[in-house]
Structure 1
């Protein structure tokens, strides 16, 4: 998972490691002989859908043992990477990198292997062009193989909708929210209708809504040229005003980000809608099941999203130059991001492939455990539809800090009753402290 995908970034580590990243970024260890038995270490995070693939690779490559570590959230994974990067040791052979970190990663791109040295040019047409572009540094070095992208649709609870007098059918829900012309104004308007009918919240908390709003813009917290783009940004201020009004109107359930009480909030009617990039579908399913629920809980997935196309997240597999098995690591990263494996990852976790041929594979467009859970929604087809029009947004070096540590507290403020103007001003103070004057 961005707010970066599944991110809770660590401010202290970010500040302390900044200079050290530059100092150690170019350290490189010579690649070892990969012909004999070797162990490859892999660090991933969140729900990437890769865990079930390693055994097959080991079976097909008897000389290779894979030692995998999966960190719970992208934020904790970012902290882990920055700490080890700054120390100059401890990095795995394959490091998963989240889209929201790219600004920081590109600042030390020389500390990652140029995968063109191991055949990247031969397979570069695999990916949607903008995904490959994201992983290409200013020198033209390809430093990552794309796993998923994060087109967003709307998760909603059909039972809660119908109890409030709203349609439960996903096509009717899409029409209710405006279809291809869906807007945030309409989303909040329908949310107020739902709240009036039920007295309950419309969405879990404002942070994920704000994240979607920002990611939809042609330029987010940074301009395409890399300049900060927050203060006096009339577009962002207008969106913030809508978000604050929604919270004031009782539309936010004021849940803690990434903590839904062991999934209970997904099963007790605390909220009726949820922002869902593909990878989040697996999170919803996991949360419902953790709370003892199943596909009968009412959660569905609609081909609609307020404000139009949006991408939240998407990751890459990189090979740090400290790896002693660079060739073998690059080969594993290439295999994990080939069509069959991206299809398998989607079926396991809903991570929508960044590989073009995988997007139309029957394993993505057809039935799966996810489709069954989401009331037989054709989730792969919907995500393919939602991916239309998605363009990668430039992520600057402090993008994740701005999302998490600048706006994170202010999002919590509006959910807790602070007026939008005060909360925005508080965010600007944090921006000065953590980014502008750091």
Structure 2
């Protein structure tokens, strides 16, 4: 789901390569006004690819010590943030915020420092326009520096497609799904053909597919004006009906979100395709390896996505007003979101940069360990292609709640055999009881 953006099951270690990269091109500002030692706390979640950057920053700023905490999932990070936000204490100097719960953050944006007070206006051209806009509140205060964005491509297992009599070459696979004109109808039809040939499921579970379908719409659970818009929403219901038909046709492997049996489902042929924003590539690799697989397990990455451009996830680094060292925290956040740092994070975890200069850097478009795992796919180039046409969908204050508590159970119902209309109506009943309006 949206806020369950990354999992603890994949280690994100930038390593020596990242540190060397930063040493050659990403010099931080001086340690700050204080001559004494400062400890800065950082809270992130999942696989953001930042771990190796902390040591590099400390080396360039001897008076700074970084104490980092990484929470396993975005959903748990949201709970942690809300608890400490309500208590008025305990938040880190640099707090990572997930796109899926940015709406909640913006409701209390005055509890975050305006980064313009610490030089944001001087670097605001770093980011793609819509990412900067997402991190800016209604009063024009820049409260978040963008880390990654989540353009989606299609992960697939070439060996499984070949066994079904389908192509495995990534260009041919892209055409199989419709190329530049790929639709969800195409996707589900290929899935039905695959199921007919093999008797097997086509994707891991309905939840992630639904997430992609919703993110792709001009407006998702909320209108651009901030109104919750689910009941009677013809666009959502049309997509739901397609998803329900797919589940009824046996295309879902009925996996649980973020639980693939220790990676077993990625290596035993349980499913052949997987929704893949850039950061999810590291998750796939980690799952395969956790189950004893490797680059020979057949997974690849194609420059195609049903319905066109879609974005899933992306984070921001903020400085809560609880911080005792806001200037130093802002400098660290700026460092971690420089072009060089975002290239290093991509190499560590596949997180596609929101910084324009980083998107075309050789460190992103060239080869990497992740590319090798995915059959030498040009991952950075593919993600750059998939980022074209992505629009920032408005995320309302309870977007993550709707995704997890309303449609999480409903997609599980689809996978368990409940018909689409019943599951939809059950979701609306849950929504009514939550009273989110």
- TM-score with structure 1 setting the length: 0.93
Query: Aligned partners of 2:98, 2:171: CA distance in 1, in Å?
Result: 32
1:232 maps to 232
Give the aligned partner of residue 89 of structure 2.
Answer: 89
Q: What residue number does 2:189 align with?
A: 189
C-alpha contact (below 8 Å) 1:102/1:395 kept by paired residues: yes
Task: Specify the SS of the correspondent of 1:113.
Answer: coil
Question: Residue 47 of structure 2 corresponds to which residue in structure 1?
Answer: 47
Q: Secondary structure at the match of 2:222?
A: coil
Matched, 1:267 2:298: no
4+ runs deviating over 3 angstroms: 32-35
Indicate conservation of the 8 Å contact 2:7/2:72, yes or no: no
Structure 1 residue aligned with 2:353 = 353
How do 1:301-380 residues align onto structure 2 when only pairs under 5 Å count? 301-380=301-380
Tell me the CA shift for residue 33 of structure 1. 6.6
Q: 1:3: Cα distance to partner?
A: 5.2
Q: What corresponds to 1:257 in structure 2?
A: 257
Alignment of 1:28-427 (within 5 A): 34-427=34-427
Distance, in Å, in 2 between the alignment partners of 1:115 and 1:173 is 44
SS at match of 1:202: coil
User: How far is the alpha carbon of 1:434 from its aligned partner?
Assistant: 1.4
Deviation digits for residues 9-40 of structure 1 (CA, Å, limit 9, x no counterpart)? xxxxxxxxxxxxxxxxxxxxxxx974310110
Alignment check: 8 A CA contact 2:97 2:316 kept: yes
SS at the partner of 1:330? helix
In the TM superposition, what is the alpha-carbon distance from 1:425 to its structure 2 partner?
0.2
Kept in 2, the 8 Å contact 1:3–1:208? The answer is: no
Alpha-carbon separation, structure 2, partners of 1:235 and 1:435: 22
Separation in structure 1 between the aligned mates of residue 415 and residue 305 of structure 2, nearest angstrom: 22
Distance in structure 2 (CA, Å) of the matches to 1:6 and 1:349: 10
| RMSD, aligned CA | 1.3
Q: Aligned partners of 2:7 and 2:436: how far apart in 1?
A: 21
| Cα drift, residue 416 of structure 1 | 0.3
Deviation string for 1:306-326 (max 9, x for gaps)?
010000000000000010010
Instruction: Give 3-state SS (helix, strand or coil) of 2:92's partner.
Output: coil
Alpha-carbon shift at residue 6 of structure 1 (Å): 3.7
Q: Which residue of 1 aligns with 2:19?
A: none
Partner of 1:25: none
1:21 corresponds in structure 2 to: none
Question: 3-state SS of the aligned residue for 1:312?
Answer: coil
**Length, aligned pairs only:** 414
Q: CA deviation at 1:229?
A: 1.2
Structure 1 pair 3–252 and aligned structure 2 pair: CA distance change class (3 A): farther
Deviation at 1:100, TM superposition (A): 0.5
> 1:29 matched to which residue of 2?
none
Indicate the SS of the match to 1:370: helix
**Counterpart in 1 of 2:430?**
430
Equivalent residues of 1:4, 1:312 under 8 A apart? no
Change in 2 beyond 3 A, CA 1:427/1:7: farther
Find the aligned partners of 1:232 and 1:7 in 2 and give their Cα distance.
34
Partners of 2:398 and 2:436 within 8 A in 1:
no
Deviations 1:253-290 (A, max 9, x none): 00010011111110111100000000000000111111
Distance 1:101 1:35, change over 3 A: farther
Q: Distance in 2 between matches of 1:35 and 1:233?
A: 58
**Do the aligned partners of 2:4 and 2:73 also contact (CA within 8 Å) in 1?**
no
Please state how far the C-alpha of 1:4 moved relative to its aligned partner. Answer: 5.3
When normalised by structure 2's length, the TM-score is 0.93
Using a 3 Å threshold, how does the CA distance of structure 1 residues 76 and 436 change in structure 2: closer, same or farther?
A: closer
Q: Classify the secondary structure of the residue corresponding to 1:293.
A: coil
- CA deviation profile, 1:180-213 (whole Å, cap 9, x unmatched): 0000001000000101111111000000100000
